[in-house]
Amino acid sequence: MKLAFKKAARIVSGFIILVLLQFLSEKIIHALRLNLPPTILGMIIFALLLNFKIIPIRLVKDICTIAISVLPVLFVPLLVGITVHYHLIKNDLISILAVIILTTFITMILTAIFVDKVMEWTGKKAPENKQDVQNILPAAAKGDKIKC
Amino acid sequence: MLSGLFSKFLYFSLTFAIFYICKYFCRLRPLKKLPPIILSGAVIILLLKFFNIDFSEYNSGAKYVTYLLGPATIALAYPLIKNKEVLLQNKRAIYFGFLFAAFIAIISTAILGKFFHTKLSIIISMLPKSVTTPIAVEISKTIGGIPELTACAVIITGIIGGLFARRLLKLFKIDNDIAIGLSVGAAAHVMGTSSLAERKQFKQVAISTVALTIVAILTAILAPVLIKLYLKLAEIVTILQN
C-alpha cells in the first residue's frame, strides 16, 4: 500500500516536471526567438538535468517509462488528420512513396558504410571484432542465430 | 452532433480505447507485423466516415491527446541518459556518424523529392521523416511543413526500415554492431530499433536508441538552416535560367 502510494507520488511529480519543462522551453524559445521546436529544447534541458543528477533518475523513471509506452497513441489524431490534407497528396502518392522508401534505404546504407569505414580508419574496428568473436563463440555453441 | 464537454471527452477517450483494442488485435496471427497505429488510424477514419463526423469535430477532443505529445517527447531523454556510456566509446565514428546520418537523410529527401517533381510543401513535410514521430512533427511545424503528412511519412519510413534493415545491411556485408545500430536508429527511428530488439541484439539496441535521439536533435538544428540554403539556391537557379 505504502509502496503503491510512493510510486503514484513519483509518477505525479515526474509528470509535473515534464509539463514544467515543456512550459519553460516554450517560454525560452519564444523569448529568444529561436528556430527550434520547444520539445527539443526541453529534451536537451531534461537530459542535462538527469546527467548532472540535478533531477534524480529514480524520481522520473516511472513516468518516463509510461510516457514512452503511450507515445504511439498520442499521434493517432495526427494520422487521422491526413484525411483533411489528402487532396494535397493524392496526385503524387506513388512518387511520395518512392521518395520515402529510397531515401530510407540510402540513409541507412550510407550511414552504415560511413561508420564502418571511420572505425576502420581510426583502427578501432580490430579489437571490436575480436570481442565479437568472443561473444559469438559461446552463443554459436548453443546453436543460436547470432548475426543478423 | 454531440455537444460540449461530453463530446470532447468522448473523442479523447475513444482515441485511447481504439488504440488499445487495435493493439490487442495486432498481436493475433493474421495482423502480425502491422503496427497498431496504422490499424487504429484506419479504424477511426472509417468510424468518422461511417457516422459522418467532421475531422474538426473529432479533433476538438482529440487535440488534447496531441497536446500530451510535448511532455511525452521530453521523456525520450531518459533512455538517452540510461545508455549514455555508448557515447564514450568509438567517439569519432559515432559522432561523425550522427552528423552524417542527419545530413544524408535531409539532403537525399530534398534531392529525390526534386527529382520526382514533388511539390515543395510536401518535400518540406517529408524532410524530417527519419526522426521519431513526435519530434518529426515538431520539426515539421517549425520549418513550415504539414504535421499530418510528416506523421504519415515517418510511420511509413519506420515500417519499411524495420522490415528491410537486417536484409539490406547483410547485403552490404555490414556486421559491426555500432554501424548496424547507428544506421538503423538514424534511418528508421523507434520502429527500426524495435526490430533490432526482437533479435535481442542489446548492444545494437543501445546504440540505436542513442542514435535516434541525437540524430533527431541534430535534424531539428540542421533542417531550418538547410532549407534556407536550398530555397536560396533554387532562387539563384531560377534567376540564372531567366
**Is residue A68 situated within a structural domain?**
yes
In the structure grid, which three cell numbers stand for residue A87, read together?
Answer: 487532396
| Same domain (yes/no): A102, A47 | no
**Pair (A51, A93) in one structural domain:** no
pLDDT score recorded for residue B1? 52
Supply the DSSP symbol for B174: -
Residue A136 lies in a domain: yes
- Total domains in the fold of chain A: 2
B221 touches chain A (CB under 8 A): yes
Print the domain residue range for A64: 1-74
**Does a structural domain hold residue A148?**
no
Task: Say yes or no: A15 and A40 in one domain.
Answer: yes
Those residues whose C-beta lies under 8 Å from the C-beta of residue B86, and which sit 6 or more positions away, are B94, B206, B207, B210
Q: Quick one: pLDDT at residue B3?
A: 66
Cβ neighbours of A103 in B, within 8 Å: 105, 108-109, 112, 129-130
CA B182 to chain centre: 16
Residue B126 near residue A96, CB atoms below 8 Å: yes
- Looking at A47, A74, A101, the residue that finishes a domain is A74
Q: Are A61 and A2 in a shared domain?
A: yes
CB within 8 Å: B149 and A22: no
Boundary residue ending a domain (A74, A96, A127): A74
Percent of chain B with pLDDT over 70: 98
The residue with cell 477511426 is: B44
Whether A91 and A51 map to the same domain: the answer is: no
- Is A120 part of the contact surface with chain B (CB cutoff 8 Å)? no
Q: Where are the domains of chain B?
A: 4-67, 77-241
R_g of chain A, CA atoms, integer Å: 23
Average pLDDT in chain B: 86
Q: Picking from A119-133, B63-77, B124-138, B149-163, which range would have the lowest pLDDT averaged per residue?
A: A119-133
Is residue A43 located within the same domain as residue A109?
A: no
From first to last of its 148 residues, chain A has per-residue pLDDT tens of: 778 888 888 889 889 999 999 999 999 988 988 888 888 889 899 999 998 888 888 888 888 888 888 888 887 888 888 888 888 888 888 888 999 999 999 999 999 999 888 888 887 554 444 444 444 434 433 333 333 3
> So what's the ipTM on this one?
0.84
pLDDT at B99: 92
Would you tell me how many other CB atoms lie within 10 Å of the CB of residue B134?
29
Same domain, residue pair A90 and A53 = no
- Judgement on whether residues A70 and A86 belong to the same structural domain of the protein: no
Residue of chain A whose Cα is closest to the Cα of B167: A148
pTM of the entire structure?
Answer: 0.80
Closest Cα partner for B114 from B123, B104, B106? B123
